[in-house]
Amino acid sequence: MINQRYLKSSTILTTNVGIADWATAFGDATVAAAMLDRLLHRATAVGIDGPSYRLRSHQSTSDKLRKAVNAHVS
């Protein structure tokens, strides 16, 4: 798929696996290198570090429960 789209159309790819770990993730360093070559040729790579936006409500709920339990225990 990557090869078919190369230089023909835009592709957005998200992953939680770092570029350095793609060979391990795909089990084949040659395949990973070929995909990265095509993906990164004209790419804008954006690295995002920090807490998960998806888990923000879960964290808020956990914090509230923890505070309630600690207040009850004290």
Closest by alpha carbon to 48, among 11, 10, 16?
Answer: 16
Position 27 scores a pLDDT of 92
Position 74 scores a pLDDT of 64
HSE-up (13 A, CA, CB side) for residue 38? 18
Q: Taking all residues of the chain, what is their mean pLDDT, rounded to a whole number?
A: 83
The single-letter DSSP state of residue 50 is S
Amino acid present at 8 = K
- Residue 6 token pair: 């190369």
Domain ranges of the chain: 2-73
Q: How far apart are CA 30 and CA 16, in angstroms?
A: 20
pTM given for the model? 0.51
pLDDT of the chain, 74 residues: tens digit per residue: 777 777 777 778 888 888 889 899 989 999 899 888 888 888 888 888 887 777 777 888 888 888 888 887 76
